[in-house]
Structure 1
Amino acid sequence: MLHDQDITKACPCNSGKPFRFCCEPAIEGHKPAATAEALMRSRYTAFSLGAVDYLIGTTAPENRNPEDAEILTEQVKCTNWIGLDILATQQGGKGDATGMVEFEARFEADEQSGVLREHSNFRCDNNQWYYVDGDVEVSIK
């Protein structure tokens, strides 16, 4: 549970909204992300907070693997996510079956900093958005 978060604390996804009214309801399972972009933002936040179960649960079922929990747990331990910028979106709104979100996420890991740039593909099944896959580029500074 993430209830210890300050009600006024800014959401890690850089939406400008308080965490409690932005990504927390989706991550806590109270209200699913309404759009592909909202799911992408909540997944970024989940990575930054270590919410591994949410990351697995919002991945398209056909792309889940038995080792996901172990891999994700290790990733969230060694990566500090420090910023998110949404670059573009296509579809992914209410009534759409699919969507694409292009973003850049800044991070620090192993005493290095870098940028992960991704074109993420999403699918909506029964009013629930899922991350399907993406084309990822990582650059280390």
Structure 2
Amino acid sequence: MNCYCGTTKTYQDCCEVFHRNNGKTDTAEQLMRSRYSAFVLADGDYLMATHHQSTRPIKEKKAIVKWAKSVQWIKLEILDTSKGTKNDIEGTVTFNAYFFENGKVDVIHEKSAFVKEDGQWFYLGLSR
């Protein structure tokens, strides 16, 4: 079975690697994909650990996990990436995350900002 994030790799060879190493990815897109898989798995610890400390929603962790468990995740679609490579310290990833909730398909469309600190990528929030 392909990884939840939509690559042709298995979960074990893809996002699970990052879930086990606390989000040490090479690129912002890899972190975005691993965070999507963490939503599919309702892994609140990983979502908090990979969310930049300046914008981390600690108080909302339980609500995020509850919501992630309440929907059926369908697929992740990466639309665009800007910077966010191994040699960058910032980048953006634009994506659609499709899910099934309350009898209908819905989508989260977001342009996410990422920042690299001490060699590790973090999700910062919506890009402006």
1:64 equivalenced with 2:70 (yes/no): no
Could you tell me how far apart the structure 1 residues matched to 2:94 and 2:43 are? Answer: 22
Could you tell me how far apart the structure 1 residues matched to 2:37 and 2:70 are? Answer: 15
For normalisation by structure 2, the TM-score amounts to: 0.93
SS at match of 2:47: helix
Higher RCO structure (Cα 8 Å, ≥6 apart): 2
Q: How many residues align?
A: 127
For normalisation by structure 1, the TM-score amounts to: 0.85
Extract unaligned runs of 5+ from structure 2.
Answer: none
How big is the shift at 1:50? 1.0
- The 5 Å alignment of 1:65-84 reads 65-84=57-76
- The structure with more radius of gyration: 1
SS at match of 1:103: strand
CA RMSD after TM alignment: 1.4
Extract unaligned runs of 5+ from structure 1.
Answer: 1-8, 136-141
Q: Which residue identity is paired with 2:38?
A: A
Deviation string 1:61-117 (CA, Å, 9 cap, x unpaired) is: 011233122121211121211111111000000120100000111101122211111
SS at match of 1:102: strand
- The residue aligned with 1:11 is 3
Change (3 A) 1:72 1:10: same
- The residue aligned with 1:24 is 16
Q: Which residue identity is paired with 1:43?
A: R
